[in-house]
Structure 1
Amino acid sequence: MLVAVDIGNTNIVLGFLDGPAIIATHRISTGLPRTADEYGLLLTELLARHDLSASDVDDVIISSVVPKVMHSFRGAIVTYFDIEPMIVGPGVKSGIRITIDDPKTLGADCLADCAGAYYLYGGPVLVADFGTATTFNYVDASGTILSGLITTGIRTGANALWSSTAQLPEVEITRPRSILARSTKDAMQAGLYYGFLGGVERTIHQFHEEISDDFQVVATGGLGRIFADDTDLIDVYDPDLIFKGMAVIHAKTSRQRP
């Protein structure tokens, strides 16, 4: 079994994979500081929920955009699983070429998303990840990342709204019943939702205007579903895209590991 770990700015998301099948996924907070022992115990407890143990884990692959978490998390894998985890980054094979000005600046999560989208759904493809930040990366028919776009995630924007205003409450990020809001809560939900959705649609339209080839749009990320269901510009919503991409990277790289 392969354990795939996505360490993001808000959450650490774990995927337990048996071949191509995803047995289970779990989400824990990135913000809480934890030691290697705490991560190790947490991982073994999550495995036990599925009648699995450390001995069932053949390998671990990690995609991280939070360097300060990596020391403790890697230590947990080495100590509790006796495995040196594969890290998505320089040295791994993804089958994806990167031609942006500085390839090293591409986030590991973006690379895994693009690998998953390209090898599962084909290219050309625009990959949209709705996370703490919202990213769009375009992969052409040959599997080359030609461009990327980064903007504020809806939850990040919402946090700025209610943390910077004394009288606006924190509200749930969800599709509102109507844009005709009659309360502060409804007004905030409608404004956040439709303002963000409009930005997503305009961004996709602009990619279509500047790219002559027809392409599909594959979306992922925790809040992607509520937007994917409300626009015909997103062709596929795949919440497990990053795990599938990490499985592709692992398969292409593992032959070269000791």
Structure 2
Amino acid sequence: MLLAIDAGNTNVVFALVDGGAIKARWRIATDPRRTADEYAVWLHQLLELEGRSKSDVEAVIIATVVPRALHNLEVLSSKYFHVEPMIAGQGNAAWPIALDVDEPHAVGADRVLNAMAVHAKHKGDLIVIDFGTATTFDVVDSSGAYKGGIIAPGINLSLDALVNAAAKLPRIAIEAPKGNLSVIGRTTESQMIIGIYWGYVAMIEGLTDRLKRELGRPATVIATGGLAILFDKHTNVFDAIEPDLTIQGLSLLHAMAIQKAK
């Protein structure tokens, strides 16, 4: 069984993958100071809750956009699972798709993995919107090449900046408006929800429209990330939601690397 690890800016996601199917997934807050021993204790308990053990893990693949987190994850793999991990984008796990941008070395691993996974599941030109710490828009052409995209502040970052900069504004939960969908708020909290939620919907729709117009041909829009479902309630911009694209990309990359090594 494969242990796929996606270390993002906010969370590290661990997933058990068997034959391309995700059997279990867990997440923990990203902290570059977290040691391999701490990861191991936490994972051991979660594996037991799933009726599994560390001996079920036969291979490990790691992707990270937090370079300082990589070392301890490599130690976790070698010390506790007794396997040398593959690192996404390196060695046999080098990127198998074209990165047709001016700075290919600067493209985040998660964005390349999303591009790989979405091209394997959908045909034609594609736009991937990933709701993470940042909200990213990625363009993948019909050949599977990564063509570039957009980086915008994530919705939680936007809300935190608003609350931290304005002393009298309360901290609110991000949620879709319920019932009355008026965009004229009558309380401070309702005005904040309208500004954050509908402002984000407008950004998603506006940037997606601009991307499609620049492409000049039809494109399928795929959403991923935890907040995709939240926005899907009030926009028709998404053609599909794929919540596990990055993990699926890691699984696909691992399979291709194994094939390459034979």
TM range (shorter): over 0.9
Structure 1 residue 22 displacement after superposition: 1.1
- Aligned-residue sequence identity (percent) comes to 38
Q: Which runs of structure 2 are paired with 1:190-209 in the superposition (5 Å)?
A: 190-209=194-213
Q: Which moved more, 1:32-41 or 1:148-157?
A: 32-41
Q: Name the CA distance, whole Å, in 1 between partners of 2:109 and 2:32.
A: 22
TM-score by length of 2: 0.94
Structure 1 residue 181 displacement after superposition: 2.3
Q: Which runs of structure 2 are paired with 1:1-258 in the superposition (5 Å)?
A: 1-31=1-31, 33-91=33-91, 92-177=93-178, 178=181, 179-257=183-261
Q: Which amino acid aligns with 1:224?
A: A
Structure 1 residue 256 displacement after superposition: 4.1
Q: Is the 8 A contact 1:95 1:143 kept in 2?
A: no
Q: Name the CA distance, whole Å, in 1 between partners of 2:75 and 2:251.
A: 22
Structure 1 residue 80 displacement after superposition: 0.5
Q: Name the CA distance, whole Å, in 2 between partners of 1:63 and 1:47.
A: 21
| Deviation readout 1:43-98 (Å, 9 max, x if unpaired) | 22221111111111111111101111111121111110011111112432444211
SS of alignment partner, residue 161 of structure 2: helix
| Deviation readout 1:101-154 (Å, 9 max, x if unpaired) | 111111000011111100012231111111001111111111111122111111
SS of alignment partner, residue 27 of structure 2: strand
Q: Is the 8 A contact 1:12 1:30 kept in 2?
A: yes
| Deviation readout 1:186-245 (Å, 9 max, x if unpaired) | 211111000011001000000111112211011101211111232111111111111111
SS of alignment partner, residue 97 of structure 1: coil
Q: Name the CA distance, whole Å, in 2 between partners of 1:121 and 1:255.
A: 22
Q: Is the 8 A contact 1:35 1:72 kept in 2?
A: yes
Q: Which amino acid aligns with 2:121?
A: L
Gap change, CA 1:169 and 1:4, over 3 Å in 2? same
TM-score by length of 1: 0.95
| Deviation readout 1:5-43 (Å, 9 max, x if unpaired) | 111111111211111221111111114831110011112
SS of alignment partner, residue 127 of structure 1: strand
Q: Name the CA distance, whole Å, in 1 between partners of 2:202 and 2:216.
A: 22
Q: Is the 8 A contact 1:93 1:252 kept in 2?
A: no
Q: Is the 8 A contact 1:40 1:77 kept in 2?
A: no
Gap change, CA 1:94 and 1:123, over 3 Å in 2? farther
Q: Name the CA distance, whole Å, in 1 between partners of 2:95 and 2:116.
A: 6
Give structure 1 stretches of 5+ with no counterpart.
none
Give structure 2 stretches of 5+ with no counterpart.
none
SS of alignment partner, residue 5 of structure 2: strand
